[in-house]
Amino acid sequence: MRQTALTLAALLLAAPAGAQEAGRRYGGDPTVQQLASIAVPPAPRGAADPSFRLHNTGSRTVSGVYVFASGDRRSGESRLGTELMPPGFGIIVRLPAGQCVNDMLLVFANGQTQLRRQVDTCATADVLVQ
């Protein structure tokens, strides 16, 4: 198990961004899942790059993450799919170039929601859930 965690950590450090998303979805050993969220290198900050890292630093499990252009009434599907994001974990949210001002709807496993409006994701590489 320790060998698997160390191997995955090494792969994540050298892997392109798409592979890091796959690492987050690795099941089983929580240490591997935590490494997948911690070992993610900074999202590249280019001109009008709205992609960001979402970190669950709170005490509640997140069951849904919806990110959509401000003013758009369609939230689409959860960025988590059918998975959960427990405290201490994170994901990378990829958005189309230039889509800088976004609304975020966070749904927690206990049914509570949190709506954040007009977040400039081009101006930040990290968003914290508390």
Give yes or no for a contact between 50 and 96, defined as CB atoms under 8 angstroms apart.
Answer: yes
pLDDT at 47: 60
Among candidates 128, 123, 130, 79, which has minimal Cα distance to 101? Answer: 123
**0.75 surpassed by pTM:** no
pLDDT at 46: 53
> What percent of the chain clears pLDDT 90, i.e. is strictly above it?
58
Task: Give the contacts of 13 (CB within 8 A, at least 6 positions apart).
Answer: 39, 41
For residue 81, the number of C-alpha atoms closer than 13 Å in the C-beta half-sphere is 6
Identity of the highest mean pLDDT range in 3-12, 17-26, 28-37, 60-69: 60-69
